[in-house]
Amino acid sequence: MNEISIIIPILNESENIKILVPEISKNIKISGIQRYEILIVDDNSEDQIQLVVKKLKKKFKSLKLLIRKKKNKDLSKSCVLGFEQSRYKNILVMDGDFQHHPKYIIKLVKKFHKYNHDVVIGARDLTSTKKTKLSIFRLGSSIVVINLLNIILGKKTSDPLSGFFLFKKKIYEKNKNKLFSRGYKILADLIYSSKKKLDIKDVSINFGTRAKGESKMNLKILIILLFFVFQKFKNKIFND
């Protein structure tokens, strides 16, 4: 594997992007990737992201800013916009708040390249709030939804709600018309929309502490996640 598109969906993360982009670039070069692009997909933020990216582009020519100018904020739709605009056949998705540290890019790339997996996931250890650095609400919500997915739709990974993963773009292209495309968990959408049995591998990561800003997780997002599980279960019943 020598090419990759990195998709970073963000909302009011300009302060984090300043330090994240240089770290990504450094780790991509160490991983041996020859051609790459970094697509910042902004959900119509109210910060200085355009100015920040303009300054960064002077040094990082592969950097591009996409702005999703919609009233309804939606990480999944931001990711889809990134997928559509991406140039390369391999796509890495990661958060823009430093909870997914760029040092793990090397680990994901090596596993993906060595075994030619369809998807490699940066999986969190969800056994405690201390290990994940998540609030009790976020940890509990994740565990509930993951268990529902495993029971109702079948276990495909230990962390289908991860926002840090590397996959073959053709998976999106073959299944984009089946995607739920709402909410904040595009990985689960991709893997549970595919009729083909995907070769999925988990790679353990330590979930980092948010550098700046606030988490977007709330009750509304949890409700959308539960609705997503219901929709996928309904589709499975009627399509199988």
* Residues 216 and 176: beta-carbon distance below 8 Å: no
pLDDT: which is higher, 49 or 136: 49
Strands 165-168 and 119-123: antiparallel
Could you give all domains of the chain from N- to C-terminal order, each with its CATH number?
Answer: 3-239 (3.90.550.10)
pLDDT: which is higher, 49 or 185: 49
- What's the pTM? 0.90
Give the DSSP H or E segment for 156. Answer: none
Average pLDDT score over the chain = 90
Q: Specify which residues 37 forms β-bridges with.
A: 5
Measured distance CA(72)–CA(61) in Å, rounded: 30
Residue pLDDT, tens place only, 136-146: 877 888 898 89
The residue whose two tokens read 């939804």 is: 145
Side-chain half-sphere of 116: how many Cα atoms within 13 Å? 0
Question: What is the reported pLDDT for 36?
Answer: 97
Per-residue pLDDT band for 176 (boundaries 50, 70, 90) equals very high
Q: Among the listed ranges 24-38, 87-101, 177-191, 206-220, which one has the minimum average pLDDT value? A: 206-220
Per-residue pLDDT band for 218 (boundaries 50, 70, 90) equals low
Measured distance CA(189)–CA(198) in Å, rounded: 13
The count of other CB atoms within 10 Å of the CB of residue 206 is 14
- Joined together, the tokens standing for residue 221 give 């997002």
Q: Is the model's pLDDT at 225 over the cut of 90?
A: no
Residue pLDDT, tens place only, 90-111: 999 999 999 999 999 999 999 9
